[in-house]
Chain A
Amino acid sequence: MPVAARAALVVALLYAFLVGISLLESGIGELGSGVQESLFSSVTNPIAGLCVGILATVLVQSSSVTTSTVVGLVGTGLLGVGDAVPVIMGANIGTTVTSTLAALGHVRRPQEFRGAFAAATVHDMFNLLAVIVLLPLELATGILESSAKWLSERLVGADGATFESPIKAVVERPSEALIDVIDGLASGTALGILLIVAAMVTIFMALGFITRNMRIIVATRIERSVSMLLEKGGGMAALALGLVITVAVQSSSITTSVLVPLAAAGVISVRNVYPVALGANIGTTVTALLAAMAASRPEALTIALVHTLFNLAGTLLFYPVPFMREIPIRMAERVALVGSERRALVGVYVVTSFIIIPAFGLLLLR
């Protein structure tokens, strides 16, 4: 397919993605108040919210799907920004499972695996540390939410108001047309469930195809810039590169997973992978910001900005100061060393961190 046609397809998919967000809002609105309450009650506990974020992202293998869905839910006004913050943080942790799984491909060769696993887990460690520091701080002070609200007010107006997004107006039409079609088949909660399913399928597929097509469009550019990264090493330029690639392909997992085989081959060190992963973390927040453009309320933009501010704050905490920078790197190297020596523990680490702990957390705390 010619690049121009593929680019046009990406624009169409982006539109479909925004329609999906709009449909999600409509679907949630159609649910009965009892269903709405029980749906969101599980995330009122912040740790449970965090677990929901991790599990949902592991399940769909995309933090963008999780965060966009959260933005859509906040856009309905039924999920509060404060309740959504831990879910967003959980999505950040959950997204690292993809590169960790990519590292498992090297498990039979200990030396390769050590490099690959360190490159993959440095992303895990950073996100984990960022949550350990910033979630309690957020719960105690609400600093991320208030900062995001301040920014959001300057951009689209105060919370509680209706945000007249021009994009919202454009994406509402197909959404309303679909509601009219389904309206004849079901009503009330059943209509809501059908719309939510349609919305989730649309969001999931649109984001998946955007990533797939953008990856093809920019593959040569990624290749060229990664070659440059291998030649020149890490630093702020690597961070910017991680951000740019992730914004282009709409997936931090693609960015970080590309580096895993290179780390396995020993051509890139975990120290040079680390800033790219941080840039990817910041870059991936663009999806939620896009989703906020299709939402009706300023709170949607607020939670999308929380996602951006959380990753920026984590980067500021764990990158500029060399001592702090070393913490996630050393942790990743240690985990990789243990993993390469006792490979049975690797499976235990992945299943426990990404499935068992969040699942138990959710069951116990919801």
Chain B
Amino acid sequence: MVLSFFRGGDDALENVDHEVTKMLGDCRHSLDLALSALYSDGDITQIGEEVRATDLRINGSEESVRRDLLVHTTVHGGTEVAMVLNSLLVVKKLERVGDQAKNVFDLADEGVRFTGDPDGEELAALGIEASGRLGEAATILAAEDEAGAEAFMTACVERMDDLDRRVNKLIHSDEPARHAVPRAMYYRYIKRIIANTEGAVSTLVRPLSRAEADVDE
């Protein structure tokens, strides 16, 4: 502990960057696991355990970032308050992505499977796209790529609108509940994942005063 005073190393904000990258990796891992459960023919217990363990890791990272930011603000004062608040917003959104990946797994846990359905591949493609967005977000945030962030956000908003349309279509469809409800919920969870990922990336370019505090509301 005392040696850490004399040793060189990262300050809290650099550590926050590492944790955010780690969280995005964990979110993607969790979503990929949940998606694999929706297409699994076998027992998904082990997948569920891994999803929950990953979610705990994501929550742990969020707590660690909050603590680091608290120490940073205490030591440095309020000079970097915007960066601190943005970082808090990012980890809160990613923590939600972890929860929503768990929600996707819960669908599988309830017995929902898309394997062999006519729209199975399309549904899988949406999940894979959301997973890919998490990877892209990690790259954009690490590089602080503002142009990339703008393009990313536009693409995310388009997909979110598309998912809203899909949900609305299901609401007015005559499909049986066992067909429509899992899909509506799946679309909703994927939309939330994309919205939270977009929200995390938007901290690069969107003023803090215009940041959406809670996309789930």
Contacts and interface: CB of A to CB of B under 8 A. Distances in A.
Interface of A: 218-230, 232, 237-238, 240-241, 244-245, 248, 258, 261-262, 265, 267
B106 interface: no
Interface in B1-23: 1-2, 4-7, 9-12, 15
Interface centre among A224, A237, A240, A244, by most chain B C-beta atoms within 10 angstroms, is A224
B74 A229 contact: no
A245 B15 CA distance: 21
10 contacts: A220-B11, A225-B2, A227-B15, A237-B1, A240-B2, A241-B1, A241-B2, A248-B5, A258-B74, A261-B74
B2 A221 contact: no
The 7 closest A-B pairs by CB, nearest first: A237-B1, A225-B5, A220-B11, A240-B2, A223-B75, A228-B4, A225-B4
A345 to B, nearest CB: 26
Contacts, number: 63
B34 to A, nearest CB: 31
A262 B70 contact: yes
A222 to B, nearest CB: 5
A224 B76 contact: no
A293 to B, nearest CB: 24
Interface size class of B (residues with CB under 8 A): 20 to 34
B2 A226 contact: no
Interface of B: 1-2, 4-7, 9-12, 15, 67-68, 70-76
Nearest to A238: B1
A267 B67 contact: yes
A223 B73 CA distance: 9
Given A223-B11, A227-B15, A262-B71, 12 more contacts: A221-B6, A222-B5, A223-B72, A223-B75, A224-B7, A228-B1, A229-B1, A230-B67, A230-B71, A232-B1, A241-B2, A265-B70
B61 to A, nearest CB: 14
A271 to B, nearest CB: 15
Nearest to B1: A237
Contacts of B70: 261-262, 265, 267
